[in-house]
Amino acid sequence: MIDLALHCESEHAVSIQSIAERQQISESYLEQLVRRLRTAGLVKSVRGAGGGYQLARPADGISVGDILRALEGSIDAVTCGGTDHDGSCGQADLCVTRIVWERVNRAIEESVDSITLDQLVEESRERQRAGVVDRKECAN
C-alpha cells in the first residue's frame, strides 16, 4: 500500500508488475493481496491502457488497521481459548486472563488505527531523502 501510494501520481494507476518488481515479491502473491484490498474497498482497479491500481480513498483516510484487517482478518493478539464454537464462554465473568487479552487487543487496535497510510508515505519519503531506503532487504 505504501508503494502504491508513493507511485500513484494524481490519476495514474500503478501496475502489479511494477509493484512486484520494486518490492521483490511475486506477481501472483501480490494479486492475492490486491484482491483482498479491493474487496475491503482500499484499492480500485483501472482498466485499459495504463491500467493498474489506485487507492480507493485518500491515504489519510486509510489506517494501518484497515490494511491489516483486510489482509489478515482479526488483528487480535490472542483469542480466548475457552470459548465455545458460538463464541460464548461460561467462565467469561470470572476470567481475569480474558480481561488482560481484551486490554492488549484494544491497545493494538488503537495503535494501528492511529497510524495512517499518508503518515507512512511521508516517513518513507523522509527516509528516501535521508538515503536510508533503497536497500534490497527493505520491503513495504
Residue ranges with strand state E in the chain: 43-46, 52-55
129/105 Cα distance (integer angstroms):
35
Binning pLDDT at 50, 70 and 90, where does residue 41 land?
A: very high
What region, left, alpha or beta, does residue 114 occupy, with left being phi > 0 and alpha being psi -120 to 50 degrees?
Answer: alpha
Number of domains composing the chain: 1
When comparing pLDDT for 10 and 115, which is higher? 115
Q: Which residues contact 95 (CB under 8 A, 6 or more apart)?
A: 80, 82, 89
pLDDT tens-place string over residues 45-54 = 988 887 899 9
* 3-class secondary-structure state, position 117: helix
77/128 Cα distance (integer angstroms):
32
Domain that holds residue 22: 1-62
Would you state the pLDDT for residue 77? 84
pLDDT tens-place string over residues 43-95 = 999 888 878 999 999 999 999 999 999 999 988 887 766 555 666 676 667 77
Q: What is the mean pLDDT of the chain?
A: 85
- Residue 93 lies inside a defined structural domain of this protein: no
- Tell me 86's DSSP state: T
CATH code (residue 49): 1.10.10.10
- Residue 30 lies inside a defined structural domain of this protein: yes
Strands 43-46 and 52-55: antiparallel
Binning pLDDT at 50, 70 and 90, where does residue 131 land?
A: confident
Would you state the pLDDT for residue 11? 63
- Residue 109 lies inside a defined structural domain of this protein: no
Three cell numbers written together for 11? 490519476
- Residue 98 lies inside a defined structural domain of this protein: no
Percent of the chain, pLDDT > 90? Answer: 57
DSSP string, 57-83: S-GGG-BHHHHHHHHHS---S---TT-
Binning pLDDT at 50, 70 and 90, where does residue 35 land?
A: very high
- Residue 84 lies inside a defined structural domain of this protein: no
Would you state the pLDDT for residue 132? 61
Would you state the pLDDT for residue 83? 59
Q: Which residues contact 63 (CB under 8 A, 6 or more apart)?
A: 112, 113, 114, 115, 116, 117
